[in-house]
């Protein structure tokens, strides 16, 4: 069935269809309608979940951790400052290897107070051990949420997964989305069985002090899981494709064969960039696009082109664009543009201009250093 609805409502629908046992969330613009819709589902009886109303995002994540620790499937959603308040507990969830699924609606961080799209909130969580997906359409929001459970709960992975998408640009924009039948989702997602769980009949202790060497091993096992996640994400994406007709990998390559330049970006900007690529191709330019689907794990293996143009809607002060900073640059020409922070509108014409600048060897802050 095709429905036309906002990114937030689609995220809530996907979460509902994954049948989480526990939802704990705190509303924040522009995520609010995700939580509202889930609360309606629970209230109406359409969704049989325990909905825990919490007093902050830190508590929302803590409640999800507690629920996941007794073996429950969990869901939460947040944005911007809410995500930042969760930061400590994001580490906790990942180190405890709990496959919590969370939606983050990307929004700028204040002050200056700003509710519009900017990826700095979630990209700043890169070292917490969460798998991160970025969506370019409402369809991808739906598909990513469903796949997130299968990936995070895989015995080889057992890591939490964050599904990120642009505030307003996707969260409040209605688009058509193909929604599978509930039975098909049930069939795709296996029943979740946790590796370990808190059990009052079989008490065990958690949170004890861990000496240096075992701690090193814990961290190493997390890194191994994250590396393994690359394989699992592609396996799950392929299975999803067989079942639902939309196949996913770590990246989407668009018109990259024979390309002299390849644009590298993610989120809504990557959809807009397709138009720029088509228009530039029509004028005889050999240009392609790599849309990053995951930011963690980072898909270096797909970024092997000689000339790349990276567009970041986030930056690390004192270093530069965040994706740009993580590129392997040896022997390559890589241009970095920082664009669209705080919701500045970026259209395909702007992306075409960035390409023209890159050809002249220029890059930087789009709209300030280059216009």
Partner 1 sequence: MLKEIIFYGRGGQGAVTAANLLASAALKSGNRGVQAFPFFGAERRGAPVKAFARISNEEIFLRSQIKEPDIVVVLDTGIMDVIDVTAGLKKDGIILLNSYKKPVDFSFPYKVATVDATSIALKNDIRVGGIPVVNTPMVGALVRILNGVKLEALKEAIRERFGKIAEKNERAVEEAYNKVIL
Q: Between residues 348 and 365, which has the closer beta carbon with respect to partner 1?
A: 348
**Site map 121..150 versus partner 1, x via CB under 8 A:** ---------------x--------------
**C-alpha–C-alpha distance, residues 323 and 334, integer Å:** 11
- Single out the residue of 136, 123, 127 nearest to residue 165, CA to CA: 136
Can you tell me which of 52, 124, 175, 198 binds partner 1, judged by CB under 8 A? 175
- The stretch near partner 1 (CB under 8 A) out of 42-50, 141-149, 161-169, 200-208 is 161-169
Can you tell me which of 174, 195, 197, 221 binds partner 1, judged by CB under 8 A? 174
DSSP 33: H
**C-alpha–C-alpha distance, residues 319 and 325, integer Å:** 7
State the minimum distance, in angstroms, from the CB of residue 239 to partner 1: 24
Can you tell me which of 238, 345, 356, 369 binds partner 1, judged by CB under 8 A? 345
Q: Between residues 74 and 122, which has the closer beta carbon with respect to partner 1?
A: 122
Grouping H, G, I as helix, E, B as strand and the rest as coil, residue 6 is strand
- Rg of the chain taking only CA atoms, in angstroms: 20
Does position 13 interact with partner 1 (CB under 8 A)? The reply is: no
Give residue for tokens 């688009």. Answer: 175
How many of the chain's residues bind partner 1 (CB under 8 A)?
25
**C-alpha–C-alpha distance, residues 271 and 265, integer Å:** 9
State the minimum distance, in angstroms, from the CB of residue 5 to partner 1: 9
- The stretch near partner 1 (CB under 8 A) out of 151-159, 212-220, 272-280, 294-302 is 272-280
Does position 110 interact with partner 1 (CB under 8 A)? The reply is: no
Q: How many beta carbons lie within 10 A of that of residue 52, not counting itself?
A: 17
**C-alpha–C-alpha distance, residues 165 and 133, integer Å:** 8
Does position 168 interact with partner 1 (CB under 8 A)? The reply is: yes
- Single out the residue of 183, 108, 178, 116 nearest to residue 141, CA to CA: 178
Q: Is the dihedral of CA 119, 125, 129, 130 positive or negative?
A: negative
Binding-site ranges for partner 1 (CB under 8 A): 2, 4, 115-116, 136, 166, 168-170, 172-176, 268-269, 271-272, 274-275, 343, 345-348
């Amino acid at each position: 069935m095709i429905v036309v609805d906002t990114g937030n409502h689609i995220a809530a629908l996907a979460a509902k269809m994954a049948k989480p046992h526990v939802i704990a969330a705190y509303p924040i613009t522009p995520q609010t309608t995700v939580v509202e819709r889930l609360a309606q589902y629970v209230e109406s009886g359409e969704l049989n979940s325990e909905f825990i109303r919490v007093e902050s995002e830190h508590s929302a994540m803590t409640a999800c951790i507690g629920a996941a620790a007794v073996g429950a499937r969990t869901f939460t959603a947040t944005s911007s400052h809410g995500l930042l308040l969760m930061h400590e507990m994001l580490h906790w969830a990942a180190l405890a290897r709990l496959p919590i699924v969370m939606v983050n609606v990307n929004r700028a961080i204040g002050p200056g107070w700003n509710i519009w799209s900017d990826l700095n909130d979630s990209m700043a969580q890169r070292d917490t051990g969460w798998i991160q997906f970025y969506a370019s359409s409402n369809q991808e929001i739906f598909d990513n949420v469903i796949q997130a459970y299968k990936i995070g709960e895989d015995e080889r992975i057992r890591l939490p997964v964050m599904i990120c998408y642009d505030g307003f640009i996707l969260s409040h924009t209605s688009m058509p989305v193909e929604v599978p039948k509930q039975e098909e989702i049930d069939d795709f997602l296996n029943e979740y069985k946790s590796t370990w769980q808190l059990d009052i009949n079989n008490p065990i202790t958690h949170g004890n002090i861990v000496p240096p060497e075992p701690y090193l091993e814990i961290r190493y096992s997390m890194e191994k899981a994250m590396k393994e996640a690359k394989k699992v994400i592609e396996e799950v994406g392929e299975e999803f494709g067989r079942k639902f007709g939309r196949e996913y990998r770590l990246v989407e390559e668009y018109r990259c064969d024979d390309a002299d330049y390849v644009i590298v970006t993610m989120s809504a900007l990557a959809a807009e960039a397709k138009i720029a690529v088509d228009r530039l191709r029509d004028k005889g330019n050999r240009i392609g696009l790599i849309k990053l689907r995951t930011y963690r794990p980072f898909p270096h293996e797909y970024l092997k082109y000689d000339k790349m143009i990276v567009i970041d809607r986030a930056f690390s002060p004192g270093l530069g664009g965040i994706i740009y900073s993580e590129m392997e640059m040896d022997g390559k020409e890589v241009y970095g543009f920082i664009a669209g922070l705080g919701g500045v509108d970026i259209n395909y014409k702007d992306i075409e201009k960035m390409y023209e600048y890159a050809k002249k060897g220029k890059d930087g802050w789009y709209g300030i250093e280059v216009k």
